[in-house]
Amino acid sequence: MDVVMLSRLQFAVAVFFHFIFVPLTLGLSILLAYMETRYVMTGDEMWKKQTKFWGKLFIINFTLGVVTGITLEFQFGTNWSRYSEYVGDIFGSLLAIEATVAFFLESTFLAVWHFGWNRVGKKTHLFAIWMVAIAGNISALWIIIANGWMQNPVGYVLRNGRAELDNFLTVVQNPYAWGIYAHTVSSAWMLGGFFVLGVSAWHLLRNADNVFFRRSFRMAAPFTLVMVALVALAGHHQGGTVAQLQPAKLAAMEAQWETEKNAPFHMLLIPDVANETNSVQALSVPGLMSWIAYGDVNAEVKGLKDFPKEDRPPVAPTFWSFRIMLALGGLFALLALVSFVVRNASVKPSRLLKALVWCIPLPYVAIMLGWAVAEIGRQPWIVYNLMRTTDAVSPVPESNVLISLVAFIVVYSALGALDILLLCKYARKGPQE
Amino acid sequence: MLETTWFILWGLLWAVYFILDGFDLGLGSLLPFIAKNEGERRIVYNAAGPFWDGNEVWLITAGGVTFAAFPKAYAVMFSALYAPLLILLFALIFRAVSFEFRNKVDSNAWRSLWDGVHFITNFLPALLLGVAFANLFMGIPIDAQGVYQGTLFTLLNPYGLAGGVFFVVIFAMHGALWLAFKSEGALQTRAIGTALILWPVVLLLLLAFLGLSAFYTQLFANYVANPALFIIPVIVVLGLAGVRAFLTSGKILLAWCSSAVFLLGVTFFGVIGMFPGMIMSSLNPEWSVTAFNAASSPLTLKIMLGVALVMVPIVLVYQFWMYRLFSHTLKAEDIKNDSHAY
């Protein structure tokens, strides 16, 4: 393998591992802020207990999220130095803004919240968790604006042999970024909801009368349902944006080889990449593909064959990631709907509860797949239509990258396993005191 | 002018990072030597408790600002220092984990394991940061394209290693002072004693480092050209003198603040000496990456300056508030009864 492939793999390992922790931080912080708000408003000790129990899991999850994030920021320099030099004027400033606007806020107020239960007043303590929740979601915005610029570079000029900032507002208002932000944040909140539902389900399976987890369940069910709907809406909207801005990605997502009007959507589809066709196409809905992409059943959808081969993204991983994500989305809708319906039932169906426990990892999988679509679908470009991934990599020896990649895989696997074990341990233990 | 302003801010961000993360890295490097029992070990951990995470954000910001204001310097520096930087990052990951995991399983073997990890992962970053910055002060072998022509071992030259040892000892003293501020009784006495033992070592290393700098680097050239700049070495000396003076008169917090001034001075001694160089090429001075040939466009520098001038003071205010909130003396008994403590 060459330096480019090794560096891509390393970045994929680092970013996917980081993103195990991020969505739960985003989603659970909002739920924690809600729980503590209820506590402060009503004085009900049960809400305090809820905050503390879910807060403990939040903290275990948070730490690894922070430090794996530092690695990511530095990897642009270590492994993608030519990219960094070419686009740092824009991309670097967005990362720096993220740190100054959001990371300080998040880390400082998390410390106040975590260590301050007996040191600050109730209202200050509540304020702290809201700051954590808001800061986390703000940091997601800036990093996604940075990613959005790689997907749809705007507001720049090519000058002095690099991309320089031309209009900051245009960069910040990038429609791609805001669309993917809505999709990412709602899916992270949904993941938080399923996490709470899943852990609660585990306890309710053992004791249907567990008052504590009945309340957690009742709180999370409507939240999760709303989020599933928002994920779908934002995702659909983003599909339209991708159709306009990145037609090659859209074609790869749907394994659309030929350019056609009134393009159908095939429920069952198996692409045959070698022969540039699909070996199975069944359960087709005429015009649905055109409608999804352009809101018009007669619109023309551009096929992969109309793009030069060297400009096409890898079709198989893009297509399958997207398909499996969609299927999981359907499952989430079903689970969230049933959970919502039975949220007040004194005994909830044990099949649902079991499914919720086993489904705790699935929103993570779906989110990873979504990012795989976004990032693999952007290839062969690191900055869409502006810089190729092969031109972006650092001039470092292959051996260095190979060693660090192996180190990443070994260390991250071990830490990930340990972190999950600890989360399980404390999740099973239930609330203390 | 914009480039120069950003160069100074860049140095300032690194200095603030060294001052803040310096004490908690120092605390961790002292852990096996200064804490005699479980209660004291937990005090050492919790003395860094609410702070280490926010302190590390200064590293993220220093990195981010290098990226934003001097993309070429970021690209060359981070790819040239590939191996030490990744070791640093892995160390920081394990350090965070050692804080978080140590008390999550009730077993002495488990805790000892993480104590070992904690020591190594605090000592290593201090050492690596010292080695890296000493090499930046001296210059590294980069070619005309900014491609690094050495290996990890190129960095482990006498001057680089001296820088590493210097940082480890400064951070250890800085950490001992913080521990003295946060503890009481026997542990506090030991922390003060440790700082007093380390003080002459720091002084000797400082003199050695200045001497070696005259021999290995061009740092003094800017000072000779502008003698007014000698105020910076004077601040270094005053800061270090203040540490001892305040410590012996029992003003521990002021001693720590003096140590912070000392660290600020040491960082700026190097940074100002380098100006406008950021990564000097030891192969050919014309290949050096400077504040001028690495800077972002004026528009980006202006926007970032606006962001920094608004946000950094706000950050400093709430971080200061947080430090005051957690400035109380730690007692082993309180930590034992606090389910949120490390």
pLDDT at position A66: 83
| pLDDT band, very low/low/confident/very high, at A31 (cuts 50, 70, 90) | very high
> A95 vs B51: CB contact, 8 Å cut-off?
no
Residue A66: closest C-alpha in chain B? B53
- Across the interface, whether the CB atoms of A432 and B322 are under 8 A apart is answered no
Mark residue A287 as left, alpha or beta (left: phi above 0; alpha: psi -120 to 50; beta: remaining): left
pLDDT of residue A11: 94
Q: What is the Cβ-side half-sphere exposure of residue A413, based on CA atoms within 13 angstroms?
A: 6
**Residue A305 confidence (pLDDT):** 92
Q: What is the mean pLDDT of residues B285-292?
A: 92
Residue A428, pLDDT > 90, answer yes
Q: How confident is the model at residue B336 (pLDDT cuts 50, 70, 90)?
A: confident
In this structure, what token pair is assigned to residue A130? 């809201």
A 10 A CB-CB count for A81 gives: 29
Residues in B touching A59 (Cβ below 8 Å): 100
CA distance, residue A279 to nearest chain B CA (Å) = 45
Q: What is the pLDDT of residues B141-160, one digit of tens each?
A: 999 988 999 888 999 999 99
Q: Per-residue DSSP letters for B48-109?
A: HTTTHHHHHHHHHHHHHHHHHH-HHHHHHHHHHTHHHHHHHHHHHHHHHHHHHHGGGS--HH
Count of beta carbons in the 10 Å neighbourhood of residue A374:
25
Q: Quick check: A197 and A224 in contact, CB under 8 A? A: yes
Give the pLDDT score at A321: 96
Cβ-contact A149, A90 below 8 angstroms = yes
Residues 6+ positions from B241 with CB-CB distance below 8 Å: B258
Judge if the upstream peptide bond of residue A317 is cis by omega within 30 degrees of 0. no
Burial A37-51 (b: 16+ CB within 10 A, else e): ebbbeeeeeebbbbb
Give the β-pairing of A300-301 and B289-290: unpaired
- Is the per-residue pLDDT at A421 higher than 80? yes
The CA angle A336-A319-A265, to the nearest 5 degrees, is 75
Contact flag A70-B59 (C-beta cutoff 8 Å): yes
| CA–CA gap between residue B299 and residue A163 (Å, rounded) | 12
Q: What percent of chain A has pLDDT over 70?
A: 100
What does the alpha-carbon distance between residue B29 and residue B95 come to, in Å, rounded to a whole number?
11
Whether B297 sits inside 8 A of A418 (CB atoms) is no
Is A433 a residue whose pLDDT tops 80? Answer: no
Separation between Cα atoms, residue B201 and residue B206, nearest integer Å: 8
DSSP H or E stretch at residue B269: helix B252-274
CB nearest to B57's CB, from A60, A81, A107: A107
In this structure, of A269-278, A319-328, B20-29, the range with the lowest mean pLDDT score is: A269-278
- Say yes or no to pLDDT of B139 above 80: yes
Asked whether B177 and B256 are in contact (CB, 8 A), the reply is yes
Closest CA to A431 of B39, B339, B114, B50: B339
**Comparing C-alpha atoms, which of B170, B108, B164, B102 is closest to residue B131?**
B164
- CB-closest option in A71, A92, A109 to B89: A71
Of A63, A111, A396, the CB nearest to B50: A111
Q: pLDDT (tens digit, 9 = 90+) per residue, A41-88?
A: 999 999 999 999 999 999 989 988 888 888 888 999 999 999 999 999
To the nearest 10 degrees (0 to 180), the angle between helices B252-274 and B185-216 is: 20
- Alpha-carbon torsion B172, B176, B179, B181, what sign? negative
pLDDT in tens, A353-397: 999 999 999 999 999 999 999 999 999 999 999 999 999 999 888
Q: Locate B267 and state its tokens.
A: 């960082």
CA dihedral A192, A196, A201, A206 (to 10 degrees): 140
Tell me the per-residue pLDDT of B30-62, one tens digit each, with 9 for 90 and over: 999 999 999 999 999 999 989 999 999 999 999
Tens-place pLDDT, residues B261-288: 999 999 999 999 999 999 999 999 999 9
**DSSP code at position A377:** T
Only one residue has tokens 């890296």, namely: B132
Are B60 and A76 within 8 A, CB to CB?
Answer: no
* Token duo for residue A376: 């693999």
Tell me: the pLDDT tens digits for A93-106?
A: 999 999 999 999 99
pLDDT at B105: 86
How many Cβ atoms are within 10 Å of A63's Cβ, its own excluded? 19
Name the DSSP letter for residue A285.
E
